[in-house]
């Protein structure tokens, strides 16, 4: 099968205001920049690490 890559969907649930700039940059790296926006990403260790850094701002949707 050509499309067996695992994916993870994340939704932004909190604003990056009053947070360090690195956390805002991580959200943008995940493709999130507005409240309640969702992004579907390839499930890699790098993406999982980014989600862990901003776990208080996002939730994993599955």
Identify whether the C-beta of residue 54 lies closer than 8 Å to the C-beta of residue 27.
yes
> Distance between CA 33 and CA 31 in Å, rounded?
7
Residue 17 has which token pair?
């205001």
Strand partners of residue 52 = none
Q: What is the pLDDT of residues 47-58, one digit of tens each?
A: 999 999 999 999
3 has a pLDDT exceeding 70 = no
5 — pLDDT class (breaks 50, 70, 90)? confident
> Distance between CA 32 and CA 54 in Å, rounded?
11
> Distance between CA 59 and CA 45 in Å, rounded?
17
Indicate the pTM of the whole model. 0.87
**CATH superfamily entry for domain 7-61:** Ribosomal protein L30/L7 (3.30.1390.20)
Q: What is the pLDDT of residues 18-47, one digit of tens each?
A: 999 999 999 999 999 999 999 999 999 999
């Amino acid at each position: 099968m050509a499309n067996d890559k695992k994916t993870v969907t994340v939704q932004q649930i909190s604003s990056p205001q009053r947070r360090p700039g690195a956390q805002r940059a991580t959200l943008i790296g995940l493709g999130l920049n507005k409240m309640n926006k969702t992004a579907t990403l390839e499930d890699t260790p790098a993406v999982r690490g980014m989600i862990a850094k901003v776990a208080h701002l996002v939730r994993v949707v599955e």
